[in-house]
Every structure is written in structure tokens, then in C-alpha cells.
Amino acid sequence: MRLRFLDDVNAVVVDRAAASGLMLSAVPAPVPLPSEALIRVAAISLNLGEVRRSKSNPDGWRPGWDFAGTVERAAQDGSGPSAGTRVVGVLGEGAWAEQIAAPTEHIAALPDGVSFERAATLPVAGLTALYALGKRGSLLGRRVLVTGASGGVGIFALQLARLAGAQATALVHRPEKRAAVEAYADNVFVGDPSAARDAGPYDVILESVGGSVFAGALQLLDEEGLLVTFGTSAERTSTIEVAPFYVRGGLSIYGFYLFHELQHQPAGKGLSRLAALLDAGKLDVHIDDVLPFAKIGEAVDRLWNRGVTGKIVVTL
């Protein structure tokens, strides 16, 4: 661990010697580019993808995607919110820190009624749900299935699908996860995709489990249906029966990676929409727990071991 100087800030870095593989360390304070705002971070939320990356990156790498906080210094080019504005945003890495520099196109001002803790759950999970559902166009009258529905993306996706006029069906792996999604779904099924067959076929399926769940979900698509795959929380390989997939005609699989999507749809506008829905009471956030920054290793372990329903938040 390096010595801390006056202009250093605390951040989470990969350290294989630590019990969780992560530790708090002093790092140089960020120096924003002209199009970046300097932000004092108040809360972050964790995602399985960044935890997985932290386990494969070298010592010194800094994880972190979601954040909420206050603008300390506005961007020099005049873009984005002014100093003192409460914001939510997303970074490609390094958001688990006391202070960060963030591109203004990927941050959004927060309504007064939305807390930092609730806002921090929105970026990766909320934007994934919002942008993935948008791949099918209008959802009015459509049937939508969400696998792994008790996760952060799943809970947002169910709500957003219903707000768009769709019938939302949730698939969870274990019976104890049912209660977390019942308020947000028209139908809830437990087990493998065959359990959800009676409420289908589906126009859109959001799939994040992988393996046999991915293969089974493909068989539930309606004609012209779309399966959006955005994760592999259980199994990273899958074997599918090809003929039943193509003979129905017009079926599609879309590989969704949020940071690719953000090259075409910057986060700022989507986060503004989500924050407004949250402020209006039209969107709910399921926070499993809120922990202090010093316990981020515990938060990571709980998420990695699938001990979290919805989102886990860490405050600074």
C-alpha cells in the first residue's frame, strides 16, 4: 500500500493478498478532462460483471461502474451539470472511490426526492433493463419473460415492461426468490424455463443465467421473437437444439453488452428517464442491504456467492 498524500483519495483496488481480493488504498486524486466533471461519490452499487472482472484483473486494477454523488467541479467545456448538483452516473471502471472524474454524457442530475442510495442502483441494472427491452420496439400488448428475475436487472425489467404495456413474466431459480418479484410481475414461475411455458410463447425474453436456461428459453420464443442475452450468472456454455429454433421463422438472439450500447446511447438520457420514474413512484428499487465503504469486501463476497436479491449498495 502506497503512502497517502494530501491530494490522494481512497479507492478500491485489486489486491490478491487481501481476503476478498480487494482492499482500500490511497490513489492519486483524479484529474478531469475538459468534458468530465469532478464528483464526490456518496454511494455505489455492485454488479456481478465488475466483481467477475476484479477476480481476473491484476493487482492495482480499480473496479467500479455505478455511482451517485455531488459535482464538486463542473466540466471545463461547459457541458453537464454545475457544481453542487446531485448526480448519478456510470464509469467503465474505477467508480469505487471517494472522488472520480466522469464524462458528462454519462451522468444525469437527480431529483431532490431520490436518495443517493436508491440512485446508485440505477446505472448498470436500470440501463440494461431499459435498453434491452427497447430492442424489440413497442412492447404494448407483448409478452415478456425475464429469467434470473430476482436480480437487479430483472426487477427493473419487469417493472419497465409493465409500464410499457407488456405482460411481464418472471422466472426465478429458487422458491425463496418468488417473494422478491411477485409485486412486479403478472406471472411468476420457479425452476427451469419449461415451468414458464403456459404463459408464453414470448415476444421478448431477457436472459442472464446461461447454460440450460438459455437453451430452454429459446424454445419459448414466439414467431418473430427476440431473446436478449446479457449475462451468464450460472453457466457460461450452452447446447441448443437448432431445428426448433429456426423452423418457427424470424427468431433472433441479441448479444447485449451495456458498454457497447453506451457508445450509441449515452447513459445520461436513460438515467434521467429512470430517475424521473423513481421520483414519480412509478419505479421501485429493491435494495438487499446497505454497507459502509470499509465493508465492500463483504458486499463483494455476498454478491459473488449469490446471496443478494435485487441490489447491494455501499455508502462512502
The pTM (predicted TM-score) of the whole model is 0.94
Q: What is the pLDDT of residue 6?
A: 55
**More confident site: 290 or 240:** 290
Once rounded to an integer, what is the mean pLDDT over residues 141-162? 97
pLDDT of 1 higher than 80: no
> Could you tell me what percent of the chain has a pLDDT over 70?
98
User: 79-88 pLDDT, tens per residue?
Assistant: 999 999 999 9
pLDDT of 61 higher than 60: yes
Once rounded to an integer, what is the mean pLDDT over residues 152-171? 97
Domains of the chain: 8-121+285-315 (3.90.180.10), 126-258 (3.90.180.10)
Cα–Cα distance measured from residue 125 to residue 88, given in angstroms and rounded to the nearest whole number? 13
User: 25-40 pLDDT, tens per residue?
Assistant: 999 999 999 999 999 9
Q: What is the pLDDT of residue 118?
A: 98
pLDDT of 65 higher than 70: yes
